[in-house]
Amino acid sequence: MNKIYYFLLSYLIGSIPFGYIICKIFKNIDIRKFGSGNIGATNVYRVCGFKFGLPVLILDILKGFMPVYIGKLLQFSNPLILVGGLLSILGHSFSIFLKGKGGKGVSTSFGVVIGLLPLPALISFIIWLIVVLSTGYVSLGSITGALFLAISTIIFTKSIFLFYVSVFIFIFIIFTHRENIKRLINKKENKIIFPWEKK
């Protein structure tokens, strides 16, 4: 496959707005007009429930993982595979199908990380889970998980290149969560209601 086609495919895969599509098909709503207005799994879960939020989460993770997997099948170099992964993240956050709008890129970034850095991805997920379960703030869990991704990458891979990749992802997560950070500081961020807490 030509590298240009690979990059284009990676962006298009990332651009598929699964949250929007699933809510439109099964609930006949535009998820962008409800809750936080985000098309990601967290907002879908809050608005439509667990049975819709979980598929969106899995599909958004796959959007990041697939370009990495395809790149490895084609035996591309790590830098080229990385570009494909980053393009899928950008596609999720700036989808061509939603006129340049999209989600915050956490799930898709995690998919890329699973493909490139399995062990740091696992550590990042555990940290995310601990923070979310203990505080109820998904945004705080995402930011903390991204930070520990960078830390665990430099510890376990010894690769400066992959460390820079993880730092880029951390900075990108900070950028897409800038409004959440303001709400966290002002103690106005909404906590997630877990399935076992719902009546």
Same-domain check for residues 56 and 100: yes
pTM for this model (two decimals): 0.83
| DSSP-assigned states of every residue in 29-55 | --GGGSTTS--SHHHHHHHH-HHHHHH
pLDDT in tens, 2-56: 899 999 999 999 999 999 999 999 999 999 999 888 899 989 998 998 899 999 9
Same-domain check for residues 97 and 162: no
Give the residue from 109, 147, 114 showing the smallest Cα distance to 128.
Answer: 147
Give the residue from 102, 89, 190, 92 showing the smallest Cα distance to 146.
Answer: 89
Q: Which domain holds residue 167?
A: 117-199
Same-domain check for residues 124 and 78: no
Same-domain check for residues 86 and 132: no
Assigned domain for 169 exists:
yes
Same-domain check for residues 55 and 143: no
The domain tally of the chain equals: 2
Same-domain check for residues 165 and 79: no
CB 146 within 8 A of CB 93: no
Same-domain check for residues 82 and 131: no
